[in-house]
């Protein structure tokens, strides 16, 4: 990933937090079928290793499984908050006119050797953990055990597990850090004016640039 120093985020806890907040990763590999990519929901596990481990499951019918079993490395891309940035928000536009549009975003890229797992106990734990993670905040959370056991067993026959011990991880938070302070303030104000849809990027622009939130 192109990673200018101003945008680099090396703190593992911050990288993991983005994965937890935006767990639908794009799983990419280049195997016998060529380049293949699928969006897959992941769990991130702090297992005592240097960077942690990703866990997921795929449909048994997904042809990417054959490629994952054949490659030494795959890439998973997690996309956080993102937003188009108009140069109309820059004070520099009024001063010189020498401005162009850009895009602000936060992203984490993860590399590792995939391990395909076809084990019922592992899969049961995986679907339980994934479900509990996303159902927990709900007023009436659904649990895997709410469905008939025979139905769950049948569903599990159609999936295969995936584990990716993380060998390398990179984070990039491009949030106008390369602009003059007046432009950064303009970006923050402009994003806030766009409402709830832009609030995540607005908050990150403020955080990354030490701006007071109004």
Q: What is the distance between the alpha carbons of residues 194 and 188, in angstroms, rounded to a whole number?
A: 10
Residue 28 domain-assigned?
A: yes
CATH of the domain at 201: 2.30.110.10
Q: Give pLDDT, residue 61.
A: 97
The answer to whether residue 213 is domain-embedded is: no
Cβ neighbours, 10 Å, residue 210: 8
Give the per-residue pLDDT at 38.
98
**Length of the chain as a residue count:** 214
Backbone angles phi, psi at 94, to 5 degrees: -70, -30
Higher pLDDT among residues 212 and 9, named by residue: 9
Supply the pLDDT for residue 214: 61
State pLDDT tens for residues 18-75.
Answer: 999 999 999 999 999 999 999 999 999 998 899 999 999 999 999 999 999 999 999 9
Q: Decide if 214 is inside a domain.
A: no
Distance CA 126, CA 118 (A): 12
C-alpha–C-alpha distance, residues 186 and 214, integer Å: 13
Confidence class of residue 188 from pLDDT cuts 50, 70 and 90?
very high
Task: Tell whether the model's pLDDT for residue 185 goes beyond 80.
Answer: yes
Query: pLDDT tens digits, residue range 189-202?
Result: 999 999 999 999 99
- The more confident residue out of 213 and 26 is 26
Residue 211 lies in a domain: no
Reported as half-sphere exposure (CB side, CA atoms, 13 A), residue 58 has a value of: 24
Between CA 113 and CA 35 the distance in angstroms is 16
- Tell me how many domains the chain contains: 1
**pLDDT tens-digit profile of 83-134?**
999 999 999 888 898 889 999 999 999 999 999 999 999 999 999 999 999 9
* Token couple for 57: 């499951």
Domain extent for 31: 5-206
pLDDT tens sequence across 148-170: 999 999 999 999 999 999 999 99
* 212 occurs within a structural domain: no
Is residue 82 situated within a structural domain? yes
């Amino acid at each position: 990933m192109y990673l200018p120093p101003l945008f680099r985020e090396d703190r593992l806890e911050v990288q993991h937090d983005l994965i937890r907040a935006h767990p639908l990763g794009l799983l990419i590999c280049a195997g016998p079928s060529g380049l293949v990519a699928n969006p897959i929901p992941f769990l991130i596990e702090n297992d005592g290793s240097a960077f942690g481990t990703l866990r997921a499951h795929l449909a048994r019918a997904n042809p990417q499984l054959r490629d994952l079993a054949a490659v030494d490395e795959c890439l998973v891309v997690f996309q956080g908050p993102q937003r188009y940035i108009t140069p109309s928000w820059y004070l520099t536009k009024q001063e010189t006119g020498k401005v162009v549009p850009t895009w602000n975003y936060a992203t984490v890229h993860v590399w590792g050797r995939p391990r395909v797992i076809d084990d019922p106990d592992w899969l049961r734990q995986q679907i339980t953990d994934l479900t509990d993670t996303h159902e927990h905040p709900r007023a009436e959370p659904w649990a895997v055990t709410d469905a008939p056991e025979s139905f769950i067993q049948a569903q599990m026959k159609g999936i295969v597990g995936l584990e990716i011990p993380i060998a390398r991880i990179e984070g990039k938070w491009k949030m106008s850090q390369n602009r003059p302070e007046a432009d950064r303030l303009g970006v923050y104000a402009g994003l806030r004016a766009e409402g709830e849809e832009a609030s995540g990027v607005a908050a990150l622009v403020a955080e990354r640039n030490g701006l007071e939130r109004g």
